[in-house]
Amino acid sequence: MSSSPENYYIGIDVGTGSVRASLVNASGKTIAASVQETKTWRDPLNSKIFEQSTTDIWDAVGRATKSCLKASGADPSSVKGIGFDATCSLAVTDFDGAPVCVTKGKGIGEKGERNVILWADHRAEEEADLINGTGSIVLDYVGGKMSLEMEIPKILWLRNNMPPERFSKCQFFDLPDFLTYQATKDSARSVCSLTCKCSYVPKAGWQKDFFKQIGLGELSDRDYAQVGVREGEEALIAGMRVGDGLSKKAAEELGLVEGTHVGSALIDAYAGWMGTVAARYRENGVLSPVVPSLEESGHRLAAVAGTSTCHIVQSPKGIFVNGVWGPYKDPIIAGWWMNEGGQSSTGQLIDFMLTTHPAYAELVQLGKDQQKNIHVVLQEILERLRVENNAESLTELIKDLHLYPDFHGNRSPIADPRMRGSIVGIELDDSLVDLARTYQATLLAIALQTRHIVDTLNVAGHKVTSIYMSGGQAKNRELMQLFADVCGMPVVLPEDSGGAVVLGAAMLGRFAAESEAGAKGREGQAERLWDIMVEMTPAGDMVSPRCSPREKKLLEAKYRIFLETIEIQKRWRKEMETALTEEV
């Protein structure tokens, strides 16, 4: 058992399928970590539906936190602060915090376990279309078009499908804010969640006319009590103290001390930004002597890559980018603005392309026989094929195979949930060789779309010169090299690819713990939070572009084809719609 007086901080990251907790010290070193699975309900007759449970999620939070304490031997009193991040999913409760069912049917709006509409849920397509036809100022701050993955379309869907008397009894939370509410019983909301996902306009706040126009006038009529910040109240900037810290009940559930400071939460991708962009980097094993400044952060794009991928960049002034969310003011650093791009399906897409291929079972068995990860097996097959075909690069090996990756719609910069995937160049082949080629085409497609987002940001006024990765995909070195080669800029990989997001959450806990009691953390937030990030972020490894001139020409051609594929799909869709509307 440890008897050290060292202070610790706990970060809680609620991802799409699990909860991760990390106990870290003031230098950012992970002392203990725990991952606990969570449940997701799908509708077998409707692929758009993804639902979860705050009860299940909070139980996992408790198990993960207690597991960290047990593994580390740390005394609960040595944990001085706790921070949360989560997916941008909609959590619904009554005003006592009891979960309210969001499943369509007779039970909707009553107390029930399934009370979270997951970020990936696409049920609110009609509601998003209605919102996007309003011309409201709120659309200016989401790239001109609101995604059906955001919270207001989902709340409107509930308003349209729930008895009015039940709807009026609901509270609506972006999931990160629900976690701080569950921890403290204080319903304060974060700037991050409200501005990024809930149509809270920078400097102007809630837009009463907008809510009335779309049929959610009840929110404004009740002074926004259902969404947590009334007119004239301030939302909390990242890390500011929430309420009086952990409630007695939450402290017991987490194994911590009542009153432990709780920092205002972040959406998971933004926690990934916190846990990566302040890193120094090693190039060829040599650590750069430069300590990054807050100003340098504006040139570093954080790419948080898991089931989906989010791309976040900061700027001292608001930059409007068509098809890219934002600009959002103060979501993390006070006085700074952020834009957020994204790919709806990346890790999920890789898994789908592998598991649905006829040769997948053979691949899994080969991995077991060779005691190797299946991705390693695929890379070895690809390298053998490259040599056999006398190809200089893997790009040359798949030069005639073109995959477009929007199997689950496009988040940015097209901002069109109707976009779909396509593959050109398929052969009459269901072998392991074909699976390997398809896998490589999938990785390249993800990299090409990343460039599309980076190019769009820079054309609009950003000056991105490097990409800082976090999430599971950062472990795929071949994919990271593709990012560097396709985007023409270095990619920095975190020391712990799976721990960068939860480290960002732990930083929120430290900021809350070190804030002065009266101010709760607003004064001087930018400089103090950045200093914490620099101190706690481990150095990362830089992957520099290294493709030959020959491969660079192929990649440029692939990118032109990628862009052309988008226009072809739009034109084909228009032709089919025209055919349906023309008179016979």
pLDDT for res 2:
43
Residue 493 sits at φ, ψ, to 5 deg, of -100, 135
> What is the Cα–Cα distance from 149 to 132, expressed in whole angstroms?
13
User: CB of 413 within 8 A of CB of 322?
Assistant: yes
The secondary structure of residue 241, as a DSSP letter, is B
Amino acid identity, position 446: I
Of 360, 321, 346, the residue nearest 406 (C-alpha): 346
**Pairing mode of beta strands 281-283, 309-315:** unpaired
* Complete DSSP assignment for 411-456: -SSS-BTT---EEE---S--SHHHHHHHHHHHHHHHHHHHHHHHHH
pLDDT for res 231:
82
Compute the half-sphere exposure of residue 216: CA atoms within 13 Å on the CB side of its CA: 28
Strand order in the sheet with 46-52: 41-43, 46-52, 116-117, 90-94, 170-174
Of 340, 294, 337, 297, the residue nearest 317 (C-alpha): 337
> What is the Cα–Cα distance from 73 to 4, expressed in whole angstroms?
10
For the chain, domains (ranges, CATH) are 8-261 (3.30.420.40), 347-459+548-578 (1.20.58.2240)
> What is the Cα–Cα distance from 54 to 250, expressed in whole angstroms?
14
Phi-psi region of 104 (alpha: psi -120 to 50; beta: other; left: phi over 0): beta
pLDDT for res 520:
60
**Residue pLDDT tens, the chain, 584 long:** 344 579 999 999 999 999 999 999 999 999 999 999 999 999 999 999 999 999 999 999 999 999 999 999 999 999 999 999 999 999 999 999 999 999 999 999 999 999 999 999 999 999 999 999 999 999 999 999 999 999 999 999 999 999 999 999 999 999 999 999 999 999 999 999 999 999 999 989 999 999 999 999 999 999 999 999 988 888 999 999 999 999 999 999 999 999 999 999 999 999 999 999 999 999 999 999 999 999 999 999 999 998 899 999 999 999 999 999 999 999 999 999 999 999 999 999 999 999 999 999 999 999 999 999 999 999 999 999 999 999 999 999 999 999 999 999 999 999 999 999 999 999 999 999 999 999 999 999 999 999 999 999 999 999 999 999 998 899 999 999 999 999 999 999 999 988 999 999 999 999 999 987 555 667 789 999 999 999 999 999 999 999 999 999 999 999 999 999 999 999 999 999 999 987 65
User: CB of 124 within 8 A of CB of 156?
Assistant: yes
Which residue is it, tokens 């991802």? 15
The first and second tokens of residue 535, run together, are: 């101190």
Of 14, 9, 19, 28, the residue nearest 74 (C-alpha): 9
User: CB of 120 within 8 A of CB of 147?
Assistant: no
Which residue is it, tokens 């997951």? 118
The secondary structure of residue 235, as a DSSP letter, is P
User: CB of 255 within 8 A of CB of 62?
Assistant: yes
Give the start-end residues of each E strand in 151-250: 170-174
User: CB of 132 within 8 A of CB of 78?
Assistant: no
Amino acid identity, position 400: D
The first and second tokens of residue 142, run together, are: 């989401």
What percent helix, strand, coil does the chain show, rounded to 5? 40, 20, 40
User: CB of 307 within 8 A of CB of 120?
Assistant: yes
**Pairing mode of beta strands 90-94, 116-117:** antiparallel
Name 445's Cβ contacts closer than 8 Å, sequence gap at least 6: 403, 404, 405, 562
User: CB of 521 within 8 A of CB of 241?
Assistant: yes
Name 420's Cβ contacts closer than 8 Å, sequence gap at least 6: 406, 407, 409, 569
Compute the half-sphere exposure of residue 51: CA atoms within 13 Å on the CB side of its CA: 22
> What is the Cα–Cα distance from 297 to 396, expressed in whole angstroms?
35
* Complete DSSP assignment for 324-354: SEEEEESSSSTT-EEEEEEES-SHHHHHHHH
**Which residues are registered as beta bridge partners of 116?**
52, 91
**Which residues are registered as beta bridge partners of 423?**
403
Longest dimension (CA), the chain: 83
Of 461, 469, 455, the residue nearest 277 (C-alpha): 469
pLDDT for res 232:
80
Radius of gyration of the chain (CA): 24
pLDDT for res 5:
72
Which residue is it, tokens 């408790």? 62
Of 303, 296, 266, 260, the residue nearest 280 (C-alpha): 296
